[in-house]
Structure 1
């Protein structure tokens, strides 16, 4: 039950991530660049989580057994456990974003988005390599359906705007790989550290890395206004702090690293629906088909076909598929002959 709850939490996180475009469009209109937006998002997310961790620690919620409750309790992380937290922030958040931005600059947004959706492929490979997670037929089918669905949902079937650049392709695929590593590092970190503490330190390390790379001081000075602060607070709270609270808590429930990227791809569905509902983007049949395929891939990934084959319903369906009207008629004719000669009438009228 906890596992199903965990996947539901990842799904909620993906739903929240899909709203990122609303905030990014506002911040871009205010004059901030992509790298600056990524840095500020993570740092404001950390600022939103800090008081939550302090209150939880003071109340003793999530504090390890034997440790005294205090506002600083959940911030105390052993150095050995701080390493995977740093990897979450630097590799899974900062470098993944950086690779995506480089790819967008080289080959355009559509191609970069398509390359980013190699993430489920890497998720299955890493799950098998690191955790010996089985590579089942349902996983492979789910990945194929998911990649096709994401591509159709993002491009709407129009590939004319897709570009090619060796650097852009490498950066986009690297972003997908590092996005898959986010689930791996998060799973390691949440085994020994509270999920919210992992999220907080991931934001701190990732935000500091992006801050050093972006140097957004000129952008911030030019865009400084009450509106900028308000948008950043919403950006740090909704698709950042809240989203990763659900994501990290879900991963702490023993989820398979190979399944998480497919479930998280629900972000694509939300993003497309936001574009249609908020910005009036076209909702063509190809795009809708892509959304349906993404939803189907999530269902397939989390469905055990072995259990279905062992179910009573499957047995009835299989039996009905084997039904032969001709054989049934012959059986009833033979039964009728037996009935006429004094046989059991109930056996004759009974349904096959």
Structure 2
């Protein structure tokens, strides 16, 4: 049950991540570059989380018995834990974003998005190697459904938009791999530290790296306005601080690292729906099919084979497979003839 709540939290985080495009489009229209936006997102998220952690520390959250409460108690970390937080921020957040942007620049957004959704494949492999998580038929089926659904939802079935470049393809696949590592490093860090503290340090390390690469202060100074500040704060709050609070808390609830990328891919569904509802992007049966496949992959990933065999869905499916139309017609005709021979014409005509 605890793991189920964890997956539900990851799903909530993915739903919030689906709103990223709204903020990115608005900030880009004000003159900020994609890399600058990514750096400012993480840093603003860290700024918003800091007072929350201080209040929690002052109230004694995770303070050992007999130890004095302190507003900075949740910020304390052993070097090993801090290293895991560093990997969360630099590898799982900053580098994953950087390679994703490189891929977009080389092969376009559609192709880069498709390559990014190789993340569940790496998630299953890393879960097996690092945590000994079983590679089941349900997981493999879920990954196949997930990738197919993401590709259809993003491209709308038009694969002619998919382009090739060694650098672009390599960067996109690497972004997917680093995205899977985010779940692994986050799971390691949350085992030793409060999830919100892990999120804070991840934002700080990732934001500083992205800031050093993009130096966004020039863009901000040229376009600063009350509207921009409000957007940055909302960007740092909704799809950043709140989303990662749900994500990190979910990872601390005994979930399997191999399953997290599949559940988190619900972000694709949310992003596509935002594009359709707010930006009048094309919709059609292929996109709907892709969304349904992503949802089905999440269901399959979190349904054990034993539960699936015992479910009413499996029973109905087995019944449908065994169904014989000829025998059914013969059986119904025999019933009707028996009713007709009974002499009760009202009883006979009712089922007809």
Q: How high is the TM-score relative to the length of structure 1?
A: 0.89
Match of 1:263 in 2: 263
Structure 1: gaps (5+ residues): 330-352
Distance 1:187 1:218, change over 3 A: same
Cα drift, residue 158 of structure 1: 1.3
Q: How does 1:223-302 map to 2 (within 5 A)?
A: 223-302=223-302
Match of 2:123 in 1: 123
Match of 2:157 in 1: 157
Distance 1:105 1:317, change over 3 A: closer
Cα distance in 2, alignment partners of residues 35 and 107 from structure 1:
17
Match of 1:213 in 2: 213
Q: How does 1:163-174 map to 2 (within 5 A)?
A: 163-174=163-174
Deviations 1:23-43 (Å, cap 9, x if unpaired)? 000100000001100000000
Cα distance in 2, alignment partners of residues 101 and 314 from structure 1:
43
Cα distance in 2, alignment partners of residues 279 and 313 from structure 1:
37
| Stretch moving more, 27-36 or 71-80 | 71-80
Deviations 1:119-173 (Å, cap 9, x if unpaired)? 0000000000000100000000000000000001001111222221100111100
Distance 1:222 1:323, change over 3 A: closer
Cα distance in 1, alignment partners of residues 225 and 88 from structure 2:
32
Structure 2: gaps (5+ residues): 332-352
Cα distance in 1, alignment partners of residues 158 and 11 from structure 2:
28
**Residue 43 (structure 2) pairs with residue 43 (structure 1):** yes
Distance 1:83 1:64, change over 3 A: farther
**Residue 179 (structure 2) pairs with residue 179 (structure 1):** yes
Distance 1:317 1:110, change over 3 A: closer
Over the aligned positions, Cα root-mean-square deviation in angstroms equals 2.0
Distance 1:316 1:234, change over 3 A: closer
Cα drift, residue 305 of structure 1: 2.0
Match of 1:196 in 2: 196
Deviations 1:254-276 (Å, cap 9, x if unpaired)? 11000000000000000000001
Cα distance in 1, alignment partners of residues 123 and 289 from structure 2:
24
Cα distance in 2, alignment partners of residues 110 and 100 from structure 1:
11
Distance 1:323 1:204, change over 3 A: closer
**Residue 10 (structure 2) pairs with residue 29 (structure 1):** no
Distance 1:316 1:243, change over 3 A: closer
**Residue 303 (structure 2) pairs with residue 309 (structure 1):** no
| Stretch moving more, 106-115 or 54-63 | 54-63
Cα drift, residue 77 of structure 1: 1.1
Distance 1:73 1:117, change over 3 A: same
Q: How high is the TM-score relative to the length of structure 2?
A: 0.89
